[in-house]
Amino acid sequence: MCGRYSLIIGMEQLVIRFGIGRVETELVPRYNVAPTQVMPVVVGQEGNRELRMMQWGLVPFWAKDRTIGNRLINARMETVAEKPAFKYALRQRRCIVPADGYYEWQKTGAGKQALRIVRPDREVFGLAGLWEQWQDPAGDLLFTYTILTTSPTAPVKHIHDRMPLVLNPEQEDFWLYGLQGTTPAEVGSFIKNLWSPPELTSYPVSNLVNNPRNDNPLCIAPA
C-alpha cells in the first residue's frame, strides 16, 4: 500500500527531471501528501509530457458518486487489468506520479514505527499511476489519480508486503506509451515488463506523518 508520500522539490526541478514544457504554476513543497489532496502528475500527450494537477483517489468515469475515490488510492499491479475501476484507465490513461519519498509503517514491539523510503541519493522518482476524468451532475470536471502497488523489493521487504511501483527512469516512456494493444495477452505482457529498482533505502521518522494535517520539514527528519 502507498498512503502517504512527499514531494519537496520546486517546479523548475520537476520540469527538468520529467522533461516537461514550461509550467507557470508554483509548486509548494509537500512533506506529507495524503489521499484527496491535489498534486502534480505527468501525462503523455501526443508524444510529449504534460504536467497536470489532480486529486489523489481515482474516481472512474462511470462512477455515480465521487466518494468512491476515497477507496481507490492504490491499484494492485497483479489485478489492475481486470478490475472495472482500473482496467479502462490502464489501457488509455496512464501517468507518472512524481515523489521523492513515500511512507510506510512497520510493526514493532512498541507499536508502529513510521519509515520514509527514498532513493539513496534522495533524488526524485516517478511512481506508476492511472488517471481519470469524471463529470458531476452539474457538468464540472474532476481529474483524479491512483498509484499502482506491487510486491516489495529486497531492501524494503521487511517493512511491508506491498510497495508503490517505482519506475526506473528508462521505463517512464514505456509506461506512458508502451502499451500497443488491449487484449489480455498484450496488457499482461506490458505489465510484466515493469519492475521497481532495487536501490531504495529507508529511515525512521516521527509519527507526525500519521496526521495529514502535519505537513512540514519535521515529517521527513530522521527520528
160-219 tens-digit pLDDT: 999 999 999 999 999 999 998 888 889 989 999 998 888 899 999 999 999 999 999 999
In tens, the pLDDT along 95-124 reads: 999 999 999 999 888 889 999 999 999 999
The whole-number pLDDT of residue 53 equals 95
For residue 104, indicate whether it is catalytic.
yes
C-alpha cell at 107: 510493526
What pLDDT band is residue 26 in, cutting at 50, 70 and 90?
confident
**Mean pLDDT score, 129-150:** 95
**Mean pLDDT score, 41-68:** 93
**Among 2, 95, 132, 172, which one carries the catalytic annotation?**
2
**Among the listed ranges 22-26, 159-163, 218-222, which one has the minimum average pLDDT value?**
22-26
Per residue in 180-214, is it b (16+ CB within 10 Å) or e — as a string?
eeeeeeebeebbeebebeeebebeebeebbeeeee
**Cα–Cα distance between 21 and 40 in angstroms, integer?**
14
Assess contact for 147 and 74: CB atoms under 8 A: yes
C-alpha cell at 32: 506529507
With a cut of 90, say whether residue 23 has pLDDT above it: no
- Picking from 86, 97, 69, 211, the residue whose alpha carbon sits closest to that of residue 164 is 97
The whole-number pLDDT of residue 109 equals 82
**Among 26, 95, 104, 132, which one carries the catalytic annotation?**
104
- Say if domain 5-219 classifies as CATH 3.40.630.30: no
The angle at the Cα of 3, spanning 57 to 136, to the nearest 5 degrees, equals 10
The whole-number pLDDT of residue 1 equals 75
Is the entire prediction scored with pTM above 0.85?
A: yes
